[in-house]
Structure 1
Amino acid sequence: MQDYSLDLASERIKHPKTKEYFREVMSSYAIGNYRSAVLSLYAVVISDLVFKLKDQVERENDPGALKILQDVETDKKRDITSSKWEMMLVEKVFQETKLLELSDKANIEYLKDHRNLSAHPNILDTEDNVLFTPNKETVRAHIRNMLEGVLTKNSAHTAKLVDLIITNLPHIYDLADDESEYDRMIIKRYLREMNEKAVASLFKKLWKFTYRLDDKDCEENRDVNARTLQLINRMYPHLVIKCLTEDQAYYSQVTLDKEQLSKMIDLFNQSPRLFTLLDEDVQKQMDAEIKRNTSRYISSWFLSTSIEDHFASATQFLSGRNFNYYALRYFGELAREVNKMDDYRMMLIKYFSYTASYQDGYTRFNHLRRKLDDFNESQFKELLKVMDSNRSIYNAYGCSGMVDDIQEAAESNLGEKIDLDPYPNLS
């Protein structure tokens, strides 16, 4: 295993001032001035926490970050000679942001102990009249812990910022030219700079607003919230799996009404494993609700073990059943995914065969007409057979126009028109 490189890790320091000040730490460490390295490292860490909070205030107007800075400044002014505000800052960042883990906080406290020993003379307290000097291995461990736990992490987002982000999402969605532009804007402005704890907090709140609640705000913003959930899932798939695994009860609280269910289908099609992480009773309820609606079932390929298996199930599900255009469209999307377009064209013909009125026939044929350029001879003949056997089609005023369209496509595809003698009602 390759040794951990302090120099390489230091290149990942986020804030330019921190990176500049950190050079002093490495310089002292390199020449063996370990007391100086510890002193400067502690100063850099406290400074970096302040920089991160200020960045949040300036860039995102984060009210939580501003409150931390104000509280620390107030405490500092009470006694300008005291350094208690430093650990107050660390404690507040730990408690109110997603930046520090408990182990990171403990490492900072350990660094502070060595900083105090290195900064204050203790000759009178030692038998050999020597200053405290941390050894090389201890200083290296401090430097590594601070790089990994603080300096190379993104800004200190507070919980209040997550609420602010959710409030801003609709505005950004309106500004974007399309959904891909929206994704780029959200990644650049928020997701790229957020640590995983903050992303998990955002995902959890958006889940509730998108899949559970049904008030006016949730209804109006369901599209953008669902889009953001899918974006987070694409960027942090392992984090999302961890969220559902560790808090199944929370994520299983969903509403199976039309809009919420539709958005969940989109997410589970993106990552089928997420569906299996819900409570089993909820899975069964969702499966039953989806199968109540033909088009919804066809679009829910996550219910099968693979998209190929779902295509086979969807083909069987539509067999002998009248279905609407939405079911046909979803079936077409499945067919493209599994390269079964001949099966889709046969399903188009089946869809047309259920024509129940003259007007219905015109509408259904219009969907079919756009696909005629891909028909082969057997498909043309099957289509004409269906038309010849359905009175609502062959008695329609526009039937002759339909036949003309078919013959034109047949001549283009096959080099000749289809013999209409076997279809007396169309001749």
Structure 2
Amino acid sequence: MSEFSLENLSEKIHYGKTKDYFQEVLSSYHNGNYRSAVVMLWSVAVCDIVYKLGELVDLYEDTVAKSILDELTTLQKGDSKSSLWEVKLIDDTRAKTNLLDNSEYENLRYLQKQRHLSAHPILDSDKQLHTPNKETVRALIRNTLEDLLIKPPFHTKKIIDELVKNIAEAAPALNTRQKVKKYLESRYLSKLKPEAELSIYRSLWKFVFKLDNEDCTKNRDIHLQTLEVIGNRNAETILNLIRGDKDYYSNVSLMPLILDYLVFYLSKNPKIYALLNEDAKLKIQHNVENTKTSKICGWFVKENLERHYEDILSLIENDIDFNFRKGQLKFLLETPDTEEWQHLFCRILSRAC
């Protein structure tokens, strides 16, 4: 990783105070003062964890984060010169919160060991002070940035509340799927662990395809688009997730409008349909037979594309009030994306016009 990239990455540091302190790390590194860079980097990492725990307390009233901070305060008051609380901080943060995974924790422990060697007069066999090399220090800086400093203090149990509230407020500006994707990846997904994305996906599935309250009805479109973004980023993992929890994902609404959303989603993700329980499949099949939107989207429940083609023709010819709504013809062309369907679509288009 080049110095230029290292500096660019540092611009993404979540807290302003952390970013200011981190400039001293970069300055020491660029000037070849590698011991000083490592010592300061450890101090910055410790401060950043404290800030994140503090924000979890302030924003989410997180009792676990509060207990960690309260215990550290007690330790510091008992022995203000001891630095043992610093190691305990990352140990407790790893064990009791979702801020650090195993690899991130091990990277921080290695940083702490390098900091100990750099900060104390430990002489090697040649009576030389320990001096980490440039490559080691650069790796320590990169790992600390990517593992900790650029990430916001999301709590797995609270992130869905934060995300749902935020995308609802931003929905008027997120008027295309591409904008939704860019927004989510920039603000959230690029900073989350995979398991957190899957947790969000699981919650949104219920919001979009099961619940029928005022908030879910109002925000169903933006929730669906968020579900699509996360699903596309984790396609194979999502299939395993659903395979292991079929009852949850098969517990969908009976309401035709909500099932229209589900049929639309499954038309782009037919492998998911195959994993659902039979009761869910019966609901979906019934909706495909009885609502116009699902008739257009429900190719995946048919025995073949020819049958879907015939059903679309029947819809056009037998329903005098039928007209394709905006975007439906484009969707019909693209899903399913096969050469056979393109030929059949041309024949549909000639009848529709």
TM-score normalised to structure 1 length? 0.61
Off by >6 Å, runs of 4+ in structure 1: 181-191, 308-311
Residues 176 and 182 in structure 1, CA contact (< 8 A), matched pair in contact too: no
1:241 aligns with 2:232: no
The higher-RCO structure (CA 8 Å, 6+ apart) is: 2
Distance of 2:184 and 2:293 partners within structure 1: 35
How far residue 9 of structure 1 moved from its aligned partner, in angstroms, is 2.9
1:106 aligns with 2:99: no
Distance of 2:295 and 2:284 partners within structure 1: 12
Distance of 2:265 and 2:81 partners within structure 1: 55
Which residue is equivalent to 1:45? 45
Residues 25 and 37 in structure 2, CA contact (< 8 A), matched pair in contact too: yes
Distance of 1:57 and 1:310 partners within structure 2: 57
Structure 2 CA distance for partners of 1:181 and 1:161, relative to 1, 3 Å: farther
Which residue is equivalent to 1:250? 245
Which residue is equivalent to 2:214? 220
Secondary structure of 2:127's partner?
A: coil
Cα-to-partner distance string for 1:192-225 (whole Å, 9 max, x where unaligned): 145233443222222234334x5xxx53333245
Equivalent residues in 2 for 1:274-313, closer than 5 Å: 275=272, 278-279=275-276, 284-285=281-282, 288-301=285-298, 303=300, 312-313=309-310
Structure 2 CA distance for partners of 1:225 and 1:310, relative to 1, 3 Å: farther
Greater Rg over alpha carbons, structure: 1
Counterpart residue type for residue 16 of structure 2: P
Which residue is equivalent to 2:152? 155
Q: C-alpha root-mean-square deviation of aligned residues, in Å?
A: 4.1
How far residue 284 of structure 1 moved from its aligned partner, in angstroms, is 4.8
Equivalent residues in 2 for 1:187-226, closer than 5 Å: 192-193=187-188, 195-197=191-193, 198-212=196-210, 218-224=212-218, 226=220
Which residue is equivalent to 1:344? 352
Which residue is equivalent to 2:23? 23
How far residue 19 of structure 1 moved from its aligned partner, in angstroms, is 2.7
Secondary structure of 1:41's partner?
A: helix
Which residue is equivalent to 1:350? none
Secondary structure of 1:130's partner?
A: coil
- Structure 2's unaligned 5+ residue stretches are 334-345
Residues 28 and 34 in structure 1, CA contact (< 8 A), matched pair in contact too: yes
Counterpart residue type for residue 2 of structure 2: S
Residues 38 and 111 in structure 2, CA contact (< 8 A), matched pair in contact too: yes
Distance of 1:21 and 1:85 partners within structure 2: 20
Distance of 1:178 and 1:142 partners within structure 2: 41
Structure 2 CA distance for partners of 1:35 and 1:302, relative to 1, 3 Å: farther
How far residue 157 of structure 1 moved from its aligned partner, in angstroms, is 0.3
Equivalent residues in 2 for 1:11-90, closer than 5 Å: 11-13=8-10, 14=13, 15-54=15-54, 61-64=59-62, 67-69=64-66, 71-78=68-75, 79=78, 80-90=80-90
Which residue is equivalent to 1:119? 119
Secondary structure of 2:43's partner?
A: helix
Which residue is equivalent to 1:164? 161
TM-score normalised to structure 2 length? 0.72
How far residue 178 of structure 1 moved from its aligned partner, in angstroms, is 4.8
Cα-to-partner distance string for 1:277-308 (whole Å, 9 max, x where unaligned): 73485785455333431525423256289xx9
Counterpart residue type for residue 114 of structure 1: Q
Distance of 1:98 and 1:332 partners within structure 2: 44
Distance of 2:102 and 2:131 partners within structure 1: 27
Which residue is equivalent to 1:141? 139
1:268 aligns with 2:266: yes
Residues 301 and 310 in structure 1, CA contact (< 8 A), matched pair in contact too: no
Cα-to-partner distance string for 1:247-285 (whole Å, 9 max, x where unaligned): 12336333251254233123335x335635734857854
Distance of 2:163 and 2:204 partners within structure 1: 8
Counterpart residue type for residue 208 of structure 1: K
Structure 2 CA distance for partners of 1:286 and 1:128, relative to 1, 3 Å: same
How far residue 182 of structure 1 moved from its aligned partner, in angstroms, is 11
Number of aligned residues: 323
Cα-to-partner distance string for 1:367-390 (whole Å, 9 max, x where unaligned): xxxxxxxxxxxxxxxxxxxxxxxx
How far residue 341 of structure 1 moved from its aligned partner, in angstroms, is 5.5
Structure 2 CA distance for partners of 1:311 and 1:160, relative to 1, 3 Å: same
Structure 2 CA distance for partners of 1:334 and 1:310, relative to 1, 3 Å: farther
Cα-to-partner distance string for 1:159-195 (whole Å, 9 max, x where unaligned): 23235337747xx84x678584799899879971452
Residues 42 and 115 in structure 1, CA contact (< 8 A), matched pair in contact too: yes
How far residue 231 of structure 1 moved from its aligned partner, in angstroms, is 2.9
Structure 2 CA distance for partners of 1:297 and 1:158, relative to 1, 3 Å: closer
Residues 24 and 40 in structure 2, CA contact (< 8 A), matched pair in contact too: yes
- Structure 1's unaligned 5+ residue stretches are 346-427
Structure 2 CA distance for partners of 1:186 and 1:68, relative to 1, 3 Å: farther
Counterpart residue type for residue 161 of structure 1: K
Residues 94 and 101 in structure 2, CA contact (< 8 A), matched pair in contact too: yes
Residues 264 and 294 in structure 2, CA contact (< 8 A), matched pair in contact too: no
Distance of 2:300 and 2:265 partners within structure 1: 12
Counterpart residue type for residue 223 of structure 1: T
Counterpart residue type for residue 83 of structure 2: S
How far residue 155 of structure 1 moved from its aligned partner, in angstroms, is 0.3
